[in-house]
Amino acid sequence: MSAQSVPATLVHPAFRIFVLGSFRLERRICLAGEPVQFTEIEGKALGDRPGVMLALLKLLLGSQNRYATKALLAETLWPEAEEESAQRSLRMAKHELSKLLRTPKGHSLLRETPDGLGLYLVSQDELEVDADVFEAAVQEAAQAEHTSPPEQVLCLWQHAYDVWTGVYLPGDVGVDWTEPRRLELETLYGLCVQRLALLSRMSGRVLEAERILRSYWATHLTDEEMLLQLMELMAAQGKPLTALRFYQASVQALRQELDVAPCEQLKLLAGQLRKQRIAVSFALVDTQQNLDASYQLSSDGLLRPASTSMLPVMALEEAEGATVLGERTMRLIQAITRWYGRAVFCDHLQGLLHQELERWTTMSTSNDELVISRRMALATLVAMPLGLVPAILAGQRSPLVLEEFLPECTASLTACWHAMIEEEDFAAVAAQLPKYLPALELLAQQPSRYQKTAAHLTTQGYLLMYHVALGNLNLPLTKVYCQHAERYSRVAEDQVLSLAVMTRLAYTFLEQSLSVYEKALAILSDPRNQVSPSLQHKIFMQAAACYAQNGQVQQALRCLGKARETPLEQAHDEPIPNGWKMFSTLSWTAQTYEYLGNLALNQGLSQRSRVLYTAVHQTLTQVEKLGATIVPEHVHVEVMLHQAKTGVDLGDRDIFQTYFQAGAQRAKGLSGQRHKQAAVDNWRLARLRWPDEMVIKDLADLLFE
């Protein structure tokens, strides 16, 4: 059950129904002394046959004046049934719907006409429908154009635009009796977009007009009138190339969907724009063209990555490092803030940002000045969404606000991932992410055209908070954050994201780890999966360790083999960096060998266990040889402490002492508590192994300096 509070001073209907963007039925809750609330009706409350009852409700909602004859209702809902059977089914559906729509005072909002030949639903004051609210708002704005000042008219059109959250009854697209109402509402929505964009442009709000038109055009490629307005606006801003790309995408859609050529006005405008492009190249001239050149427009209206570079490569030897990264940061921020009309495509934006930040990492590995500058740049990106949080929480969730907020959250989360993966910088993430995560979560809970995008980003937010909690050894919080991430990954409906959550679930809830990995491996076995080789490799490696830990040797070895067969390269446009590198493979291979060694030792196979522990030591030594420019500091510390533990397993005091001293000392320089606790655990194991060795006892000083 979800409830939404509203001001108690308003007049509230008994029921609210949402049909734009999704279908949802809500009943008002009346509690003495409490704000008025609405709660969603779902599950058992819908009765034994919710499908038939809701179909009757939708049919009446879409009928003129919410009225239809019983004969028409029966024929429409049960076209193949005999008349008597259809009428009997209608009576049953009407009875169930009448009970469902009963008010606290005992009367139903579903009524029968006096002559008994028809059914109707009561007026808007008792049964509020968002489509009716939208229609009324459009009518009010249209009428105000003749009597009110321009600014007031603009506000009215903006209000109507904000009410629209998506297509009419999206789950019933293609059903004959929904089409007339859908067409009627789509026409009003097009009018709303057209008038709002025009008035915004006339009032000097050119960027808002562009954003509105782009958002509409992305899902209405064959709307020539709107395309003409968008192309004219882009031409007026000196962006003929962008306008021509819109034109080409619509021409292709018109041919494929309607088998027609564009109108003469569009052809004429396109010809004029082609003349202007003589002095323009597809090089990255300004920030907006940088962004546009990174994408191509597909026939389905979606923006697809066309280039692996978001910003041009700049020669480091020609300028000071801080200057280079400072300039790139500024241009990157400008590109993010101008991601207008594309908030629902934040996964593509994140792929580009990830590639750019990867390039920064490569640039800064051998230059201390660049390392500092890069940290400052990441901190700037992490804090980007904070300015809009008060507006979101206060209920100001218009497309204009969300088209800024969601890309900024995307930039922040991408920067958080890089700060976390490469440096385990828990402080920056823990300081800023909780400030905007509640606003992001609020958007993920409410049906809208942006819900899945918000859910995708919210899932990432909770995965990051999970790592913060894990780094600080707050195990109860890791479980809470992991469960939140799983919840929103289901809303996002993203396979890659779900697998990322699964790997954390398996690590957090050990009793479920085997079943979780079996589900993940089942997804990978499906030839239709869209999972990158890097993520597949990661899952195979972690599943191998899980099987080994649970004593399933053959399955562990099989997964190790699968991992070796899977290339490690990460997909260029993968939005979420999983941080999996060659050192990750070696570390998890060592972990698997260690679990197999423990199993052999428990079975009394001491020689076999020694061979496996030696393999652990040799594998971790390969990580050390990769060098500091490839392996982050926190991974180096993990490897040293793992080597120290392996020294205990092998009974080799020299190995333990050498690695423990280095690992415990360097763990103090890391922000989290996980490595410090690992050092303490290793020392305790060594004390159990060599209880009489004073040199081991003296190593405790390293833990408390």
For residue 100, the domain's CATH number is 1.10.10
Question: Which of left, alpha, beta for 173 (phi over 0: left; psi -120 to 50: alpha)?
Answer: beta
Q: Is the dihedral of CA 508, 514, 520, 524 positive or negative?
A: positive
Calculate the alpha carbon distances from 159 to 151, 201, 619 in Å.
12, 17, 63
Cα gap 61→64, rounded to integer Å = 8
Q: What is the CA radius of gyration of the chain?
A: 30
Phi, psi (rounded to 5 degrees) for 591: -60, -40
Ranges 269-278, 297-306, 327-336, most confident: 327-336
Structure tokens at 254: 């018109």
Structural domain contains residue 314: no
Domain annotation covers residue 494: no
The encoded tokens of residue 195 equal: 């008038």
Q: Are 572 and 308 in contact (CB under 8 A)?
A: yes
Compute the distance between CA of residue 614 and CA of residue 685 in angstroms, rounded to an integer. Answer: 18
What number is the average pLDDT over the span 523-544? 82
Say if residue 669's pLDDT is above 60: yes
Strand (E) or helix (H) holding 303: strand 303-305
What's at 383, amino acid-wise? A
Q: In Å, how far are 136, 414, 503, 536, 581 from 569, measured between CA atoms?
A: 54, 19, 19, 10, 9
Domain match, 219 and 231 both: yes
Q: What is the pLDDT of residue 579?
A: 62
The whole-angstrom separation of Cα 342 and Cα 616 is 48
Indicate the residue type of 691.
Answer: P
For 237, 335, 503, 640, the CA distances from 360, given in Å and listed in that order, are 32, 17, 27, 27
Same domain, 113 and 234: no
Indicate the SS3 state at residue 557.
helix
Same domain, 14 and 32: yes
> Where residue 232 sits, what CATH number does that domain have?
1.25.40.10
Structure-token pair, residue 409 = 């959250």
Q: For residue 15, which of 101, 93, 99, 133 has the smallest C-alpha distance?
A: 101
Q: What are phi and psi of 690, to 5 degrees?
A: -125, 70
Answer yes or no: do 97 and 176 share one domain.
no
Q: Which residue, of 282, 315, 348, is where some domain finishes?
A: 282
How far is Cα 223 from Cα 213, in angstroms, rounded to an integer? 11
Q: Confidence class of residue 162 from pLDDT cuts 50, 70 and 90?
A: very high
- Residue reference for tokens 């790997």: 503
pLDDT above 50 (res 479): yes
Q: Please report whether residue 106 resides in a domain.
A: yes
**DSSP category for residue 113:** -
What does the H/E/C string look like for 122-172?
CCCCCEEEHHHHHHHHHHHHHHHCCCCCHHHHHHHHHHHHHHCCCCECHHH
First to last CA, the chain: 53
- Is residue 302 pLDDT above 50, yes or no? no
Q: Is 29 exposed, middle or buried (0-12, 13-18, 19+ CB in 10 A)?
A: middle
> pLDDT of 429-474, one tens digit each?
888 899 999 999 999 999 998 999 999 999 999 999 988 888 777 8
Do 671 and 645 share a structural domain? yes
What is the rounded CA–CA span in Å between residue 126 and residue 104? 12
Residue 644 near residue 659, CB atoms below 8 Å: yes
Judge if 81 and 144 occupy the same domain: no
Instruction: Note down the domain range covering 87.
Output: 3-129
Which pLDDT band, with edges at 50, 70 and 90, does 1 fall under? very low
Please say whether the dihedral angle defined by the alpha carbons of residues 561, 562, 565 and 570, taken in this order, is positive or negative.
negative
Which pLDDT score, from 0 to 100, does residue 562 have? 87
147 domain residue, yes or no? yes
Q: Nearest Cα to 385, choosing from 357, 414, 362, 405?
A: 405
Residues 123 and 138 in one domain: no
Which pLDDT belongs to residue 157?
A: 95
User: Residue 130: its pLDDT value, please?
Assistant: 92
Torsion of CA 463, 465, 469, 475, to 10 degrees: -50
Instruction: Show Cβ contacts of residue 518 under 8 Å, excluding neighbours closer than 6 positions.
Output: none
pTM for the whole structure: 0.52
User: What pLDDT shows up at residue 456?
Assistant: 94
**Whether residue 145 sits in one domain with residue 114:** no
- Segment 636-647 shows an average pLDDT of 88
Q: Quick one: CA dihedral 511, 513, 514, 520, positive or negative? A: positive
Mean pLDDT of 170-194: 88
Note whether residue 235 is domain-resident.
yes
- Euclidean distance between CA atoms 625 and 400, whole angstroms: 51
140, 259: one domain: yes
Chain CA centroid to CA 241, Å: 30
Does residue 119 sit in the same domain as residue 194? no
Identify whether 667 is part of a domain. Answer: yes
C-alpha of 266 from chain center = 36
Tokens 């989290």 belong to which residue? 672
3-state secondary structure of 631: coil
pLDDT at position 278 is 42
499 residue type, one letter = L
Do the domain assignments include residue 654?
Answer: yes
Decide if 325 is inside a domain: no
Q: What is the DSSP letter of 178?
A: G
Question: Which of 39-48, 159-168, 671-680 is predicted least confidently?
Answer: 39-48
Report the length, in residues, of the chain. 705
Boundary residue ending a domain (229, 258, 282): 282
Residue type, 289: Q
Judged by DSSP in three states, 6 sits in: coil
366-375, 596-605, 633-642: which range is least confident on average? 366-375
CA-to-CA distance for 1 and 585, rounded, in angstroms? Answer: 43
Residues contacting 347, CB < 8 A, separation 6+: 453, 456, 494, 575
Q: Are residues 575 and 354 in contact, defined by beta-carbon separation less than 8 angstroms?
A: yes
Number of compact structural domains in the chain: 3
Question: C-alpha distances in angstroms, 345 versus 420, 453, 456?
Answer: 24, 8, 11
**Average pLDDT of the residues of the chain:** 80
Of the candidate ranges 34-38, 219-223, 455-459, 582-586, the one whose mean pLDDT is the lowest: 34-38
CB 198 within 8 A of CB 229: yes
What percent of the chain lies above the pLDDT cut of 90?
14
Give the model's confidence band at 134: pLDDT under 50 very low, under 70 low, under 90 confident, else very high. very high
Amino acid found at 658: T
**CA 570/CA 536 separation, integer angstroms:** 10
Q: What is the Cα–Cα distance from 683 to 619, expressed in whole angstroms?
A: 22
- Calculate ∠ Cα 552-556-561, nearest 5°: 155
Residue type for position 190: G
Cα 453 from Cα 406, distance rounded (Å): 8
* 695, 609: one domain: yes
Q: How far apart are CA 149 and CA 127, in angstroms?
A: 32
Among 232, 261, 282, identify where a domain stops: 282
SS3 percent helix, strand, coil of the chain, rounded to 5, is: 70, 5, 25
Q: How far is CA 371 from each of CA 366, 377, 489, rounded to the nearest angstrom?
A: 8, 10, 33
Dist CA 289 CA 308 (whole Å): 15
Q: Tell whether 138 and 229 lie within a shared domain.
A: yes
Residue type, 590: A
pLDDT score of 313: 40
pLDDT given at position 326: 66
